């Protein structure tokens, strides 16, 4: 059984009802200028997120390239540097040292992991920063017109009240053995 709250999907009946309810409030409680302002704010927020994601991915790739180059330079310095071949203890005993140079060689798998890690990190940070700046810019766009802002806030309060009523109705109509609580 689908949970009564959550995204719209094939198994979520209330999600579809809530989407339809939101659309009705969007159409009937707001003027056309209010709807246009909300669409413009949503587009602005989406643009900020997209730019943040692409910027983060680019910076992540550049940092990964730099990290790989530094790793290769460190390996070259180690490979061409003087390395001990044995250890002499105070008692005079000598033990040979294994050659670990092949174990430190940069690998293709290490490079792939580096690019993946830095790319994901850059994408995450860029997306978060883009989401933050986008939501702040969208909020300022909506707040620019006081009357429009008040109508939007009123429509949102009405939608929330209707959504809570629909969820309460669904919970009241369920049998007691459904296991939600």
82 in any annotated domain = no
**Domain boundaries, position 129:** 35-76+103-165
Task: Report how far residue 152's alpha carbon sits from residue 33's, in angstroms, rounded to the nearest whole number.
Answer: 11
121 in any annotated domain = yes
Task: Report how far residue 35's alpha carbon sits from residue 56's, in angstroms, rounded to the nearest whole number.
Answer: 31
Closest to 18 in 3D by CA, of 137, 174, 168 = 168
CA angle 9, 13, 17 (to 5 degrees): 100
pLDDT score at 49: 96
pLDDT tens by residue, 88-128: 999 999 999 988 888 889 999 999 999 999 999 999 999 99
Provide CB contacts within 8 A for 28, sequence distance 6+. none
58 in any annotated domain = yes
30 in any annotated domain = no
- The residue count of the chain comes to 181
109 in any annotated domain = yes
Task: Report how far residue 120's alpha carbon sits from residue 40's, in angstroms, rounded to the nearest whole number.
Answer: 29
In the numeric block, which tokens belong to residue 83? Answer: 């390395």
57 in any annotated domain = yes
Provide CB contacts within 8 A for 56, sequence distance 6+. 122, 123, 124, 125, 126, 127, 129, 130
27 in any annotated domain = no
Contact predicate 120/60, CB 8 Å: yes
Name the strand (E) or helix (H) holding 75: helix 32-80
pLDDT tens across the length of the chain (181 residues): 344 445 545 556 667 888 888 888 888 888 899 889 999 999 999 999 999 999 999 999 999 999 999 999 999 998 888 888 889 999 999 999 988 888 889 999 999 999 999 999 999 999 999 999 999 999 999 998 899 899 999 999 999 999 899 888 888 887 655 555 5
**Domains held by the chain: number:** 1
The number of C-alpha atoms within 13 Å of 120 and in the hemisphere containing its C-beta is 5
Contact predicate 143/44, CB 8 Å: no
172 in any annotated domain = no
């Amino acid at each position: 059984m689908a949970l009564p709250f959550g995204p719209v999907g094939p198994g979520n009946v209330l999600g579809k009802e809530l989407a339809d309810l939101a659309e009705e409030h969007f159409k009937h409680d707001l003027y056309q200028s209010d709807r246009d302002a909300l669409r413009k704010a949503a587009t602005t927020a989406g643009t900020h997120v997209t730019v943040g994601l692409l910027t983060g991915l680019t910076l992540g790739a550049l940092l990964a390239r730099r990290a790989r180059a530094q790793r290769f330079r460190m390996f070259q310095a180690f490979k061409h540097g003087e390395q001990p071949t044995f250890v002499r203890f105070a008692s005079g005993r000598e033990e040979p040292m294994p050659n670990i140079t092949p174990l430190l060689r940069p690998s293709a798998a290490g490079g792939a992991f580096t690019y993946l890690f830095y790319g994901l990190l850059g994408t995450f940070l860029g997306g978060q920063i883009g989401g933050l700046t986008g939501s702040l810019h969208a909020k300022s766009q909506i707040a620019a017109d006081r009357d429009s802002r008040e109508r939007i806030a009123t429509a949102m309060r009405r939608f929330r009240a209707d959504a809570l009523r629909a969820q309460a109705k669904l919970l009241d109509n369920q049998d007691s053995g459904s296991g939600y609580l």
